[in-house]
Structure 1
Amino acid sequence: MEKIKIHGARLHNLKNISLIIPKGQMVVITGISGSGKSSLAFDILFEEGKNQYLRSIGILAGLNNEDKFDIIEGIGPTVAVRQSTIRQSNPRSTVGTKTRILNQLALMFTSEGKTLDGYKKNLSPSYYLYTTAEGMCISCQGRGFYYDINLEQLIPNRTITLAEVYVGLNVTAGFLRILKKKYGMYFNTSFWMLPEDIRDEVVYGTYENGKQSYCLERVLRNAYEKGEDVEEVYRKKLCPDCHGERISEEPKEVFLYGKRIGELAQMTLTGLYDYLNEVPEEGLSQFGKNIVKDIRQHLKQLIQFRLGHLTLYREMSSLSGGEVQRIFLYLQLESRLNSLIYIFDEPMAGLHPSEKPSVIQAVKKLKDIGNTVIVVEHDKELIGQADHIIEIGPKAGTEGGTVVYQGDYQGYMKADTLLSKYLFEKSIMPQRERRTDIFDKNNCIVLKGANTFYLKHITVTFPLHAMVGIAGLSGSGKSSLIEETLLKRLASAKKYGHGSGIEGEERIGGFVKISQEPIGKNACSTPVSYIGIWDKIREVFANQPEARIRDMDAGYFSFHSKGACTDCGGSGFERIFLTSDFSVDKTCQTCNGKRFQEQSLSVKYKGKTISDVLEMSITQAVHFFANQASIVKPLCILEQMGMGYLTLGQPTSSLSGGEAQRVKLAKELGKQHGSNMLYVLDEPTTGLSLYDTALLLKILDKLVSNGNSVIIIEHNIAVLKSCDYIIELGPEGGDKGGKVIANGTPEQLIVNPNSKTGRYLI
């Protein structure tokens, strides 16, 4: 069949829509945040494509579509590439293992490697891989580093009890009770008087089925990875035995033209490509020549996908969503599969304007080899290359969910939809009154000698009480400069009253980091629990007359406490495992997905149950709780950011990076920070249309107008045009980046010949 036909799609906010999607083409589905485009692409097309395949082989027999639609015809095997689901949390998964280039290098060393005295050793390929028992460095288990806990610094007082240690780490009262039960008489014993085996368990935990128990190391590691200031007691240290090369001593004695495999794996992909180009072929066997040629070809393609700044040892969990998607795109092109339906989630995310053409060409190539490519995207350049465009709208939430445009690009240019007006400048972005007096030596923070990762010992001045943009190609050092250097030095300066390599930190009242890190990894975490109003909502229900009569406290209105459905444990679904690591979810037949037991659902507030409240959108909840000021305030901030479409009970794990960041921003704005704060944001426009970007800019402008400072890492040209000042890093990525190549106002970057961003600001 040459078309996908959908009739009566009505999942989430989709309003019983019907449409025809051509196959064998590149189709862009667009719309403002919350319009329903992801519901159509992922929850309808992908899920049904997957389920039809599984039903066809008898795995999902008996499971229906749960009334998501009437009919879908023409769907085929479907592959989804969604940022929130392809993130890797396994620390042993790296760019080298994912692309399999590391395995090819291991073959190369087995075939061509020599010791310093010119002899070959008879080591199998597994000896050159940190993922095998033979190859890994025993000291760091193949990680290349380890975390060192300074217990003397963490617990300096010899009389501090184990209970006091946990209290000092802000362990919740409920968890303290669990720990007290676990450690019994040791709970009130001095930490330094604990038996050695108990103390080791407290510090490092135990492992069961590969999972680490609750321990000090786990608490500190989580804090470290969130960017909290714990470096005085917990530091990531290079392994002293392998020096970051991850492999054992025996393979470290084998060289390929002066380099060990661990050294090659720590080079940038661009650097490794250049190195292999210099390897003289006359010294290689025919097998070696073939491997080198193959590796070079793979590296060349990855570099074309703007991934040359990565290394083979770079952990997949540390990559941005856009970088992960580009690696996935590379792998799919390598597979040369056809007749599939690919669904991508913003593959242009995290790309500098100059990097977009090569990725667009790769997406088009995937179509050209015989696949259907469906892309959820806001980017104008990619939309301009689409064969077919679908806009879902007109707005978000209950005001969205309909097809407002379907057709080609020429027709879209003439359309009168909310998003097309912004794309083709019929509606203009909000114009900030930019500051012109930003360079006062007494109104800035100066960072000196920044050399984190690939930064080239640079000194950078950040104007305060202004909106400062940080620009540059992928891997040019933006995050290294801001998150790994500026914020860590600020944290140290604020903690100790002074900081090394930083001046002017006393000129701000504090700082807030708002990153794209997930704000919850399971279905129990929701927007309302994260922003801190879930307890208040449950108290409202606990104070209702019927709840008081039945002696029901707030725990009865929690889906992971007393109120949880006994059959599904409050998840609302039954998980069916098809293999050890692949499962599908089926709505719980006892609670019908409501998560709560019947007693909890018998109590109502203004005619609504606690489950009804979780199904409300933020906009609906603002009106429903109008007389509850402490509940409404943070909800109003989210609504002002254009996020009124989110439901209160939506799992935070399902939010995009941009959505998660805006929820974090709303939480911070709901606090009484006062003025003169520094807000640092990392690509907050990820997942945002220009319409949503306009709303975000208004919020950021208000922050600056109220006396705060904003530093924003961004590629979005609309945002950079609105900045008072831009600092651009480059000139390239990885070891070819790390310098300040331009700084100044947007107008100054336009005329700066060194700037790679200025030409796009016109």
Structure 2
Amino acid sequence: MEEIKIKGARIHNLKNINLTIPKHQLVVITGISGSGKSSLAFDILFEEGKNQYLRSIGILAGLDNEDRFDMMEGIGPTVAVRQNTIRQSNPRSTVGTKTGILNQLALIFTSDGKTLDEHRTHLSPSYFLYTTAEGTCISCQGRGSYYDINLEQLIPDNTTTLLEVYEGLKVTTGFLRILKKKYCMYFDIPFWQLPEDIQDEVVYGTYQNGKQSYCLERILRNAYEKGEDVEEVYVKTICPDCHGERVSDDAREVFFYGKRIGELGQMTLTGLLDYLDGIPEEELSQFSKNVLKNVRQKLKQLIQFRLGHLTLYREMSSLSGGEVQRIFLHLHLESRLDSLIYIFDEPMAGLHPFEKQSMIEAVKKLRDLGNTVIVVEHDKEMISQADHIIEIGPKAGVEGGTVVYQGDYAGYVKADTLLSQYLSGKCTMPEREGRTDTFHKEDCLILKHANTNYLKDVTVAFPLHVMVGIAGLSGSGKSSLIEDTLLKRLVSNQKYGHATGISGVERICSFTKISQEPIGKSATSTPASYIGIWDKIRELFSKQPEAKIRNMDAGYFSFHSKGACPDCGGSGYERIFLTSDFSVDKLCPTCHGKRFQEESLLVAYNGKTITDVLEMSIAQAVFFFADQISIVKPLRILEQMGMGYLTLGQPTSSLSGGEAQRVKLAKELGKQRGGNMLYVLDEPTTGLSLYDTALLLKLLDQLVAGGNSVIVIEHNVEVLKSCDYIIELGPEGGDKGGEIIAKGTLGQLRDNPNSKTGRYLI
């Protein structure tokens, strides 16, 4: 069949839509946040494509129990990559292992590698891979580094008691109570006088069922992962045995044209290609010639996808969503499979305007192999080059869920939908009210001699009480400058009262980082719990007459406490594992997805059960809790940000990066602040349509008008156009970046011949 036909699609907010999607084309599904586009792409198309395949081989027989649509025809094997499910936390998964390049280099070292004395013992390929028992460095377990606690720096005074150690690390009162029970007789003894086994347990904890107890190492690791500057006491130590090369002694004795495999693993992909291009092929074995040709081809394609700044040893967990999707795209182009349906979730995320066309060409190439490529996207360039465009809307939540346009681009710009008006020019971004192009030299944060990662001794001033944009190509050093240097020095100053390499900190009262990191990894975390209103709602229910009669406290209105359904544990579904890492979810037959045990649902507040409340959208909850000021205040902020469509009970792990960031921003804005804050945002327009971007810009303008400072790392041209001042890094990525190539107002960047961003700011 040449089309995918859907009738009566009705999951989430989709309103029984009928749709025909052409195959073997590049199809863009767009719409404002919460309109239903992801429900259509992933919950209908991808899930049915996956389920039909599993049913066809007899795995899912009898498990399809969700009424998501009336009919679907023409669906085939479907592959999908979502922004919030592609992150991997395994530190041993790297760009080199994911792309297979490390395995191929291992073959070359086996075939043509040489030892310094030329008397080499033949080693199998596994000896050159840090992922194998033969190849891994024993000292660091193939990590290349580990973290050591500098106890002498952490506890420099011989009289510091155990209690003072915990207080110095700002351990919460709850944990302090637990620790007091555990170490009661030692709390007032100086740490260095404690028995050696107690010292060891305090520092490194104990392990039970694979879980580490609360200890100093865990406290410092958590602080490090949150971006706090604890490097003086929690030190990343390059492995003294392998010097970061990850592999064993045997592998480190073998060279291929002057380099060990661990050295190649630490090169950027661009640098590695340059090195390999310099090797005289006539001196290689025929086997190595063939493998090397394949490696070069892989590297060229990855560099074409703007990934040349990465190294083979770069951990997958540290990559942005856009970077992982580009690696995924490379792998599938390389496989040359056809007749598949690919669904991408914003593959243009994290790309500078200069880099976008190469990504579009790659997606088109996947289509030209004979595949259907469906892209959930807001980017103007991708939309303008699509074969077929579908807009879901007109708005979000209950006001969305219908097809408001379907057709080609020429028809789309004339369609007068909410989003097409921004493409046709009928709607424009809001003008900044407090915009300025005059800056006081003394009203700045000044960062001095930044050398983090590939930064090249950068000194730069950030004007305060304005909106500052940080621009540059992928890997040019934006995050290194802001997240890994500026923020860490600010944390260090806040924690210890001083920090080297930064001045002007006294000009702000405090700072907060609002990133795209997930705000909850489990299904028990919800927007209601994250913004701090869930406990208040549960208390309301526990005060109702029926709850008092039944002696039900707030725990009965929690789906991971006394109120949880006994069969599914409060998840609402049963997870059936088909393999160790692949599962399907079946609706819980006991609670039918409501998550609570029966008794909890007998209590109502203003006619609604606790499940009814969790199913409310934020917009509905604002009206429902109108008389509960402490509950409604943070909800109103979310509604103003265009997020009234989110439900109170949806798992925060299901939020996109952009949605998670806006929920974090709403939580921060809900706090009582006195102005003069520094807000740092990392690509806040990820997941946002132009309509949603306009709402975000209004909010950022309000922050600046209120006396605050905003620094935003961003590629989105509309956001950069709204900035008072822009700092651009480059000129390229990785070791070819790390310099300030342009800075100033919009006009100054446009006139600067070194700027790669200025030409797009017209």
Q: Same fold (TM over 0.5)?
A: yes
Partner of 1:416 in structure 2? 416
Partner of 1:605 in structure 2? 605
Write out per-residue CA displacement over residues 174-203 of structure 1, whole angstroms, 9 at most, x where no aligned residue.
Answer: x7787788x588886966676655654554
Q: How does 1:55-74 map to 2 (within 5 A)?
A: 55-74=55-74
Q: Per-residue deviation at 1:619?
A: 0.6
Partner of 2:237 in structure 1? 237
Distance 2:207 2:282 in 1: 51
Q: Per-residue deviation at 1:85?
A: 1.0
Task: Please state if 1:405 is matched with 2:388.
Answer: no
Q: Is the 8 A contact 1:469 1:727 kept in 2?
A: yes
Partner of 1:95 in structure 2? 95
Q: Is the 8 A contact 2:414 2:424 kept in 1?
A: no
Number of corresponding residues? 760
Distance 1:193 1:440 in 2: 54
- For residue 373 of structure 1, give the secondary structure of its aligned residue in structure 2: strand
Write out per-residue CA displacement over residues 59-80 of structure 1, whole angstroms, 9 at most, x where no aligned residue.
Answer: 1111124111111111111111
Partner of 1:747 in structure 2? 747
Q: Per-residue deviation at 1:171?
A: 5.1
Partner of 1:108 in structure 2? 108
The 3 A distance-change label for structure 1 pair 203 and 571 is farther
Partner of 2:301 in structure 1? 301
Q: Per-residue deviation at 1:220?
A: 2.2
- For residue 347 of structure 2, give the secondary structure of its aligned residue in structure 1: coil
Q: Per-residue deviation at 1:673?
A: 2.2
Task: Please state if 1:695 is matched with 2:698.
Answer: no
The 3 A distance-change label for structure 1 pair 125 and 559 is same
Distance 2:572 2:396 in 1: 25
Distance 2:5 2:515 in 1: 39
Deviates more, 1:457-466 or 1:436-445: 436-445
Partner of 2:487 in structure 1? 487
Partner of 1:560 in structure 2? 560
Q: Per-residue deviation at 1:172?
A: 7.1
Q: Is the 8 A contact 2:394 2:404 kept in 1?
A: yes
- For residue 250 of structure 1, give the secondary structure of its aligned residue in structure 2: helix
- For residue 419 of structure 2, give the secondary structure of its aligned residue in structure 1: helix
Distance 1:377 1:308 in 2: 24
The 3 A distance-change label for structure 1 pair 738 and 224 is same
Distance 2:177 2:495 in 1: 31
Partner of 2:716 in structure 1? 716
Structure 2: runs of 5 or more not aligned: none
Partner of 1:476 in structure 2? 476
The 3 A distance-change label for structure 1 pair 228 and 289 is same
The 3 A distance-change label for structure 1 pair 498 and 200 is closer
Distance 1:161 1:555 in 2: 34
Structure 1: runs of 5 or more not aligned: none
Q: Is the 8 A contact 1:325 1:347 kept in 2?
A: yes
Write out per-residue CA displacement over residues 658-706 of structure 1, whole angstroms, 9 at most, x where no aligned residue.
Answer: 1111111111111112110100000000000000000000000000000
Q: Per-residue deviation at 1:266?
A: 0.6
Deviates more, 1:145-154 or 1:399-408: 145-154
Distance 2:180 2:54 in 1: 47
Task: Please state if 1:661 is matched with 2:661.
Answer: yes
- For residue 650 of structure 2, give the secondary structure of its aligned residue in structure 1: coil
Partner of 2:634 in structure 1? 634
Distance 2:705 2:534 in 1: 31
Write out per-residue CA displacement over residues 32-59 of structure 1, whole angstroms, 9 at most, x where no aligned residue.
Answer: 0000000000011111111111111111
Distance 2:205 2:134 in 1: 26
- Matched residues, percent identical? 80
Partner of 1:83 in structure 2? 83
Q: Is the 8 A contact 2:511 2:677 kept in 1?
A: yes
- For residue 83 of structure 1, give the secondary structure of its aligned residue in structure 2: coil
Q: How does 1:521-560 map to 2 (within 5 A)?
A: 521-560=521-560
Partner of 1:625 in structure 2? 625
Partner of 2:573 in structure 1? 573
The 3 A distance-change label for structure 1 pair 164 and 471 is closer
Q: Is the 8 A contact 1:568 1:574 kept in 2?
A: yes
Q: Which amino acid in the other structure matches residue 234 of structure 1?
A: Y
- For residue 479 of structure 1, give the secondary structure of its aligned residue in structure 2: helix
Deviates more, 1:739-748 or 1:542-551: 542-551
Q: Per-residue deviation at 1:208?
A: 6.9
Partner of 2:151 in structure 1? 151
Distance 1:176 1:706 in 2: 38
Partner of 1:392 in structure 2? 392
Q: Is the 8 A contact 1:523 1:571 kept in 2?
A: yes
Distance 2:664 2:402 in 1: 29
Q: TM-score, normalised by structure 1?
A: 0.96
Q: Which amino acid in the other structure matches residue 332 of structure 2?
A: Q
Q: Which amino acid in the other structure matches residue 326 of structure 2?
A: R
The 3 A distance-change label for structure 1 pair 192 and 581 is farther
Distance 2:321 2:530 in 1: 22
Q: Is the 8 A contact 1:186 1:194 kept in 2?
A: no
Q: Is the 8 A contact 2:437 2:745 kept in 1?
A: no
Distance 1:350 1:12 in 2: 28
The 3 A distance-change label for structure 1 pair 193 and 582 is farther
The 3 A distance-change label for structure 1 pair 14 and 256 is same
Q: Is the 8 A contact 1:434 1:723 kept in 2?
A: no
Q: Per-residue deviation at 1:168?
A: 5.6
Q: Per-residue deviation at 1:136?
A: 1.4
Q: How does 1:260-339 map to 2 (within 5 A)?
A: 260-339=260-339
Deviates more, 1:232-241 or 1:678-687: 232-241
Distance 2:103 2:713 in 1: 35
- For residue 142 of structure 1, give the secondary structure of its aligned residue in structure 2: coil
Partner of 1:430 in structure 2? 430
Deviates more, 1:704-713 or 1:252-261: 252-261
Distance 1:687 1:626 in 2: 30
Q: Per-residue deviation at 1:231?
A: 2.7
- For residue 235 of structure 1, give the secondary structure of its aligned residue in structure 2: strand
Partner of 1:20 in structure 2? 20
Q: Which amino acid in the other structure matches residue 509 of structure 1?
A: C
Write out per-residue CA displacement over residues 107-141 of structure 1, whole angstroms, 9 at most, x where no aligned residue.
Answer: 11111111223343311111111111211111111
